[in-house]
Structure 1
Amino acid sequence: MKSTLHSFIFIISVILFSNQIKAQTTGKSIKASIGYGASSSYYNEDYGSQDEVDVMGGGLYLHGEYILGIKSWFSIRPYAGAIFESVDKDQNVQNQPQYKVTTNAFLVGGKIRLCAPIPWVAPFIEAGLGASAGKFETFTPNVNFNKSDVLLHIPFNFGLALGRKNSFEIGFSGYFHPAAKQSTGVFAVGYSFPLD
């Protein structure tokens, strides 16, 4: 009972005094991230015994953001990045084509972040809209998309901002490309450099 009461008082204190807590710094910053990305088709129609074929591509992910910190819990983030993926060419599947899903593209766009006003460990969530310019391949039993083009993507991210000023980050990102019927999942680490 006492621990529940203490937890309740702590949560109420955080809510009431959130103006005094700086979870993420306000002002302008630049964030650089590096990570690993993997793409797969989200077209999930059952295709029999071939659903055991691994068609994911994976590779290097680079990302940079210009951060406009409006409040300690809200920021606007124009971004640019790149993802370079390939697939294992040694698929051990007889009498079947080489299925694959890859993204090799540059990414630009904008997103907003909502961040819990908690120092040292602050969970966040982000969403936005962007464009990807590059080569997209989605070759599965049900999809055959192979184009070099500029495509709309929808980013969705969540993670933790760490440190006294929440300068370090670990997070998971998703980039959905509806035209190519594929999505890219990313695990990345990042660091923010204040400009003010």
Structure 2
Amino acid sequence: MHFKKLFCISLVLATSFVYSQTMKEKALNIMVGYGITAPYDSVDDIADDGFYLQGELVLTIASWVEFKPYLGFITTSSNGKDLNNNPTNEKAETKALLFGGKTRLRAPIPWVAPYAEIGIGASVGKFVTETAFYNYNKSGILYHIPFAFGLELGKQHQIDLGLTYYFTPSVKQFSGAFAVGITIPLKH
């Protein structure tokens, strides 16, 4: 319960801080990709797959830093096989709504700008992690730590190509995606 209160207070303070800063630009970033979920530990090499979709409000503070509140969705399911196409009883599945805030640090390079981002968020949904080491089957709201890296492409950095991950410690799994996005500038 303390985490939920701390998360809400942090989100309100972060939002207040972001809006009190002078925004250089505002944009909307839509990302779509190939979703995956894998356990932290596994005897078999497993990564269950599915679909990923996310929208972000991009608040540019400087050419090298952005604040990004986000809302997304990921769904992954097991096909009963490991990465080598061998049968397995292990799995890591997720069906969840994702929300939170991230900070992106970007090299302000024209046409191809590498970036990394980190933040804090929550997932609402169903989470299953079954391995030789642990067995979790939880529904509800769980916190996660988003981490991503990739490239912004184009003259105005309007194309986003990246790998994004959401580490969920309470079910010992991470969800993620190989995603492609487009950034649409918003008028002030």
Task: Pick the TM interval, shorter chain.
Answer: 0.7 to 0.9
Q: 1:90 to 1:58 in 2, by over 3 A?
A: closer
TM-score of the superposed pair, with normalisation by structure 1: 0.78
**Equivalent AA in structure 2 for residue 57 of structure 1:** D
Larger-Rg structure: 1
Which residue is equivalent to 1:163?
A: 154
- Deviation for aligned residue 1:90: 6.2
Q: 1:155 to 1:90 in 2, by over 3 A?
A: closer
Q: Which runs of 5+ in 2 are unaligned?
A: 1-22
- Cα contact 1:169–1:190 (8 A) shared by 2: yes
Distance, in Å, in 2 between the alignment partners of 1:42 and 1:114 is: 26
Distance, in Å, in 2 between the alignment partners of 1:190 and 1:128 is: 19
- The alignment status of 1:122 with 2:120, answered yes or no, reads no
TM-score of the superposed pair, with normalisation by structure 2: 0.81
Which residue is equivalent to 2:37?
A: 39
Distance, in Å, in 1 between the alignment partners of 2:24 and 2:173 is: 35
Task: Identify the match of residue 62 of structure 2 among 62, 71, 90.
Answer: 71
Distance, in Å, in 2 between the alignment partners of 1:54 and 1:125 is: 26
User: Between Structure 1 and Structure 2, how many residues are aligned?
Assistant: 162
Residues 47-94 of structure 1, C-alpha deviations (whole Å, 9 max, x = no match): xxxx2x34321100001000111111111000000001111146754x
- Cα contact 1:55–1:140 (8 A) shared by 2: no
Q: Which runs of 5+ in 1 are unaligned?
A: 1-24, 45-50
Distance, in Å, in 2 between the alignment partners of 1:86 and 1:149 is: 18
Question: Percent sequence identity over matched residues?
Answer: 46
Task: Identify the match of residue 25 of structure 2 among 24, 27, 31.
Answer: 27
